Structure 1
């Protein structure tokens, strides 16, 4: 019994250490991104799915149990009712990006911790809870434009950084044999900072800069439902719906217009005058309604295929009462996975999950008369690690190869390769062993 308690304390301490590490890094680190399209709205919106679902085109709405272990699907909290083991999932992401505009090209690489999520079954076996932390939007860009002001050459410099994160706590419940519902309470928080400068080609001249920062924090809600149609002992169709409410978040806006100088070497000499300022104006930001519909068809522990359709009412997004000039978005995803033989002893690769998918989105951005679209193919592996009767360990690798934007009307095309890795642990925590 003493050994059992000691083992339990070790596991609890492990969770506490991981949470403390992840929270500390999230609080201190800047969001790593390099995308000129992140200057619009709240930045580039990230799918709230783990690597194992990203590999299947980020399908999620109709996903219940993709294979023979507990999987956290926070995009549809109705799926929490299928959690039957204590589940921990933590991971990181990296991205190679190539930006092209006309004959110009630029490359960058960014990497960061991506998520931590935990889930626990509830005693009755038909409900579960989950909580975690994930990125919601990312802002990161820097670019210049040249022109003329009177007889002087001018350079306009645009920069932005920051992003929003989402911490959630959710519950899912099965009702009857085939119907499930669930919901998340979410806290969205972070900073969005954007600045623009105008510089003239005069030594020691005065230059102007505008900096606009929004510190955002508030509660939002998401929800979901799933209905299962049995096709036999091991086959099923799952129909799903998920969405998020039109929640109002608090925003504190700080605006500063200033003048600064540069010396003959080009080094910035600091602010010499404040032209205008708004020191911490309290305002509101209202998130749009979003909806997603999806399905999966599967044979348990063998194969699964599914598709999602999603839409968001971003056209009404306003910050500080100013409409952000966005448009409503929509997108589709399709994908699946195949496991040759989950019980194989002689061949490790027969126990591996092989995943493939595709996604397409018309984003909420329209600029220079062009809708900004994004598409990607996705693939990945679920690699089983050492496991026993009470525990399952798995490494999930995912690659996304895609593009965003267009070269039409002198716009920028982004080609990217994203890598995701997640470690999933299933274990029988908080269960007392019986002594005979």
Structure 2
């Protein structure tokens, strides 16, 4: 009965994953939105490491080769509450969002292989910005409102297998899809009509990843883990329409009344994602502690068509350095629950790959960097091997230099990792 309820819940909330507004960041205006880290709550709580980590009790979204270690059917569900404060150096604003990070199911295939399938966001769009201009006397001259919503998600399947005693390889295939709406409204003093630009786009494309993990036993029962994942080059098609028109507001209903359409045309573009390389190394003692480091790098995205609006931003190469690990005092302790808790922590330093010109000169581009400090706890549940995972992150993104915006955020993450040894076994007694 519990399994049937779980399936209904997963199907229901998977629909909301595609439709929800997951971001309040002004930086989600650019490209196809703010990139979402494809990590579990457990991995995010360790700074985002995981390409080398081998764990039989939790899923691994970074390296498909890790599926080779699955020994139980594992259901994973993760969510996040994000509290955001933004500043331009002279004024501040705040916002918050609640979102679902992923839904996934993994299970073993024999003794040497495993498979995971799931749904998770790739990018989020959610912003509302107002820019107003007054003359020297403080009288209104012009106001422009920027707003957007939507994003992209991915449906993926990943397979991993042990090809040698200490070597596992894996493959992942994903389908990326989503819709994005961007609009710009402008009003000027002494002009009766307002103008609005709207752009509605659909994003579609496939994505593939290869992975490998190597584990070697050292002295004192220590394990040395090495991992590598390659996300292959892929294309995302961006199609839709854009319209520019004038309008006013009805004196009776207060609703918009469109007047003249300046243009209404189709949008066709392509975003080329170069190869992304993730490599990492870690050392630890099984079911006791682990410390690792991941490094990720990727060349700049390439645009074809009219995906980029104006000349206020462009892409550059990106990279991420993550350090983190976990510690379990005594995993099989009977006398102390606190000794069975998994304590996690980590740091993340990231160059997002986004360049923004806050001066609108077309020549003064600034890199947008991101930094995060992570802390997390894995709380054992009464059911063996299952856990409730809490994660906390404080970070800063961007800068107030050159007329840009600096974000300070605090993320609270929650996930369920439920393990079962008999999900696929035939029921003997009902």
TM-score, normalised via structure 1 length: 0.90
The alignment status of 1:33 with 2:23, answered yes or no, reads yes
Whole-Å separation in 1 of the counterparts to 2:213 and 2:398? 34
Whether contact under 8 Å (1:374, 1:403) holds in the other structure is yes
Partners of 1:135 and 1:315 in 2: CA distance: 19
- Structure 1: distance between partners of 2:390 and 2:342: 10
Pairing partner for 1:173 from 161, 175, 183: 161
Judging changes above 3 Å, is the alpha-carbon distance between structure 1 residues 212 and 434 closer, same or farther for their aligned structure 2 residues? closer
Check whether the contact 2:343–2:378 (CA below 8 A) recurs between aligned residues: yes
Point out the more displaced range, 287-296 or 425-434: 425-434
Give the match for residue 375 of structure 1. 371
Aligned-pair CA distance for 1:318: 3.8
Tell me how far apart the structure 1 counterparts of residues 62 and 306 of structure 2 sit (CA, whole Å).
28
Quote the residue 1:294 is aligned against.
Answer: 280
Unaligned runs of 5+ in 1: 1-9
**Does the aligned pair in 1 maintain the 2:114–2:161 contact within 8 Å?**
yes
Whole-angstrom distance in 2 between the partners of 1:173 and 1:14: 31
- Alpha carbons 1:208, 1:259 under 8 Å: kept: yes
- Cα distance, 1:258 vs structure 2: 1.0
Asked if residue 130 in structure 1 is aligned to residue 116 in structure 2, the reply is yes
Q: Do the aligned partners of 1:317 and 1:326 also contact (CA within 8 Å) in 2?
A: no
Report the CA distance between 1:14 and its aligned residue.
3.6
Change (3 A) 1:375 1:319: farther
Is residue 2:192 matched to residue 1:192? no
Alignment deviations for residues 389-435 of structure 1 (CA, whole Å, 9 cap, x no partner): xx422000000100101111221110000011001111112235899
Unaligned runs of 5+ in 2: 358-364
Task: Note closer, same or farther for the CA distance 1:321–1:270 as it changes in structure 2 (3 Å cut).
Answer: closer
Describe the shift of the 1:129–1:340 C-alpha distance in structure 2 as closer, same or farther (beyond 3 A). Answer: same
Which residue, 279, 290, 293 being the options, matches 1:307? 293
Matched, 1:112 2:99: yes
Partners of 1:56 and 1:317 lie apart in 2 by: 33
Query: In the TM superposition, what whole-angstrom CA distance separates every residue of 1:221-267 from its partner, at most 9, and x where no partner exists?
Result: 11211111211473211111112111123332211111111367995
User: What is the SS of the residue equivalent to 2:418?
Assistant: strand
- The DSSP-based 3-state class of the residue aligned with 2:314 is coil
CA-to-partner distance for each residue in 1:155-212, whole Å, 9 max, x for gaps? 1111111111111011001111111111111010111221112111337x11111111
Match of residue 19 from structure 1: 10
CA distance in 2, matches of 1:117, 1:108: 28
Cα deviation digits, residues 120-143 of structure 1 (max 9, x gap): 1012x1100000011111111111
Indicate how the Cα distance of structure 1 residues 106 and 357 shifts in structure 2: closer, same or farther if over 3 A, else same: same
Map 1:38-187; keep pairs closer than 5 Å: 38-65=28-55, 69-123=56-110, 125-147=111-133, 153-187=141-175
1:347 alignment counterpart: 336
| Distance (Å, rounded) in 1 between the aligned partners of 2:27 and 2:251 | 34
State the number of aligned residues.
Answer: 415
CA–CA distance in structure 2, aligned partners of residues 347 and 411 of structure 1: 50
The answer on 1:430 being equivalent to 2:430 is no
**TM-score under structure 2 normalisation?**
0.91
Distance in 2, Cα, partners of 1:159 & 1:253: 18
CA contact (8 A) 1:260 1:268 kept: no
